[in-house]
Amino acid sequence: MNKFANIGLRRLLRWEVFLALVVAADFALNVRLSPYFLSSETLADVSFNFTEKALVALPMALLIIAGEIDISVAATMALTSVCMGLLATRTTSLSAIVGCGLAVGLLAGAVNGTLVTRWRVPAIVATIGTMSLYRGIAYGILGDRVLKAYPPAFAFFGQGYIAGPVSFELLLFALAAVLCSLYLHRTEFGRRLVAIGCNRTAAEMAGVRVNRYRFWLFVATGVASAAASVLLTSRLGSTRPSIAQGMELDIISIVILGGVAITGGRGSIAGVVLAGILTGLAIFGLGLINVPGVVISLLMGALLILIVGSPILARRLARARPRA
């Protein structure tokens, strides 16, 4: 009985359970603070506060678990949006516009992967460089112009609903989350990612093609960034080179808040999903009660420090008690 009790206690103490409790508390707080929060229209709009960022956070989590990172995701979104906007001035084909965007994201991810795996540039250095490069290309192509020549049907990707309050964005994010969760937690692919993140040299000696995994993870992150750019551009209805400015920090914050170890080798997709929902609920709820954007940024930073720091402090106190 003690063995089963200990297993149950460990499950209750998991980071995902803690995040789920915080999400429930935040939801209840929003209901209490605003009488409009429980309306179907409001709940339908909540997802737009996190789905685009969380969509990129899913492959970013896999990348960080494998011991790498991509700082260029927001710049990839900007470059993707500019390329789609230019193509939209010449054609009304949705497949061509979206296909162009996904191709740009794939190419950007492949460049990052090549720099890291072939040229052996550290990931953080390589992607900081491509962040400036991709954003610079976007500004160089578009300058101060704004592109709005998208066909009317393009708006569905970022503003359309599948059924009731379920938006296309939310459905796409849910499907991507299920796919990433299956790959990470139920396949040999996921076990090898964890092995690479824990000890890359040992994984190579065990026969894992480490560089191939790393390369395709960068490609997947680039494609996810392009998909998020399609959603964001569609929701805004226009393209600017400044689109998604600073979003890379929000994406990485979601991954870290979701319990993924920044040093690699540990993490879960469920935690990332809950972290995305938590940030979306918090930002939307604060916006409903007219909290200024600067204050929201301060509160979100404090929330991240509090939630991530509290368990660390608790573990240190627990270790100190036996010594005392």
Q: Residue 6 pLDDT > 50, yes or no?
A: no
Kindly list the distances between the CA atom of residue 202 and the CA atoms of 157, 162, 249, in Å, as whole numbers in the listed order: 43, 46, 31
Task: Choose among 157, 186, 190: nearest CA to 51.
Answer: 157
pLDDT at 164 over 80: no
Q: What is the pLDDT of residues 124-142, one digit of tens each?
A: 999 999 999 999 999 999 9
> How many CA within 13 A on the CB side of residue 246?
1
**Would you call 175 helix, strand, or coil by DSSP?**
helix
The model's pLDDT over 298-321, given as tens digits with 9 standing for 90+, comes to 877 787 787 677 667 767 777 776
pLDDT higher than threshold 80 for residue 36: no
Residue 202 has pLDDT above 60, yes or no: yes
CA distances (Å), origin 251, targets 107, 210, 320? 20, 25, 34
3 state SS of 259: coil
173 vs 324: CA distance, rounded Å? 48
Whether pTM > 0.75 for this model: the answer is: yes
> What pLDDT shows up at residue 10?
52
Weakest-pLDDT range from 28-32, 73-77, 189-193? 28-32
3-state secondary structure at position 163: strand
Structural domains in the chain, CATH included, are 14-304 (1.10.3470)
Q: For residues 152-173, give the mean pLDDT.
A: 91
Instruction: For residue 261, give every residue at least 6 positions away whose Cβ sits within 8 Å of its Cβ, in sequence order, or none.
Output: 64, 65, 197, 267
Average pLDDT over the chain reads 89
pLDDT of residue 94 exceeding 60, the answer is: yes
SS3 240: coil
Dmax (CA) of the chain:
73
Calculate the dihedral angle through the C-alpha atoms of 283, 51, 106, 253, rounding to the nearest 10 degrees: 40
Pairing of strands 161-163, 166-167: antiparallel
pLDDT digits (tens, 9 = 90+) for 38-54: 776 777 778 888 999 99
